[in-house]
Amino acid sequence: MRLKSVVLLSCLCLLVLPLAGGCKKEQQPLGWPPVKTRDVPAPAPLNMPNVATFTEQTYEIDVVVGQEFAIGIFEGNASDYLRDPKYTESLGNTMILYDSPTPNHYGTQWFLYKALKTGTTDITFNAPLEYYKVFRINIKA
The pLDDT of residue 79: 84
- 82 in any annotated domain: yes
Q: What is the model's pLDDT at position 11? A: 57
pLDDT per residue, tens digit, the chain (141 aa), is: 666 665 666 655 555 555 555 444 444 445 555 445 667 778 888 989 999 999 888 889 999 999 999 999 887 677 888 888 899 999 999 988 888 766 666 788 899 999 999 999 999 888 766 678 889 999 999
In one-letter notation, the amino acid at residue 17 is L
Distance CA 97, CA 109 (A): 9
Domain assignment present for residue 113? The answer is yes
Task: Evaluate whether residue 14 is within a structural domain.
Answer: no
Q: Is residue 124 part of a domain?
A: yes
Structural domain contains residue 25 = no
Contact (Cβ atoms closer than 8 angstroms) between residue 69 and residue 39:
no
What is the count of structural domains for the chain? 1
Assign residue 123 the CATH number of its domain. 2.60.40.2020
Residue-level pLDDT at 3:
63
Residue 110 is predicted with a pLDDT of 93
- Domain containing 94 equals 52-140
- Tell me how far apart the alpha carbons of residues 75 and 111 are, in angstroms, rounded to a whole number: 12
Edge-to-edge, what's the strand order for the sheet holding 79-82? 60-64, 131-140, 119-127, 79-82
What local confidence, expressed as pLDDT, does residue 4 receive?
A: 64
